[in-house]
Every structure is written in structure tokens, then in C-alpha cells.
Amino acid sequence: MNAVPHGLAAVQGRPFPSPFASPPGVGMSPPLVNALWSSVNAGAGVWMLRPARGERAASTSWPTVAVGALAMMFVLAGWFGRAAERSRP
């Protein structure tokens, strides 16, 4: 899943290539951009794996867990991104 490398780079505060960099896919994007791109990819993956109409999902609490995980990813991306900028010479 494409969400994993972008999300990991984001929470570590590291730049990582994304389609929004210059040049696209080659240049580095900041952690918050990678957090957003990871979120979009994870959301698309979850949407594609949703139960078919008429089927009942195993748990109705997954949206709460997903929102909490996304919020924490953005907080960590911002925190570690600023920390990485401060530590650069």
C-alpha cells in the first residue's frame, strides 16, 4: 500500500518524493504533504475494501480509529518536520 512509505516518512519528519514535488515523483516533498498523500492513499484503500451493499461490516468503530490515526500522523509529521528543520546545519 502506497500509504505506508509516505506515512512513515511523514511521522519521522523526513522529506520524501511525492507526485506534488518538483519534478513530480523525483523531488522531495515536506512531511505534511506526505502525511496528506498517505491519508488519501489509505482512504482510497479502505474505500476499495469496504463491504458490498447489504453486507454488515465487522465493526462500526473503525472510522473513529481511522480519524484518530490520521490526526496523530499529522501531529507527528508537523512535530518531527520542525525538529528536523531545526537540526539541519
3-state secondary structure of 16: strand
* Beta bridge partners of residue 29, listed in sequence order: 16
Q: What angle do CA 37, 72, 11 make, to 5 degrees?
A: 60
Instruction: Report the Cα 51 to chain-centroid distance in Å.
Output: 23
**pTM to 2 decimal places:** 0.67
Residue 28 confidence (pLDDT)? 92
Residues of the chain with pLDDT under 50: none
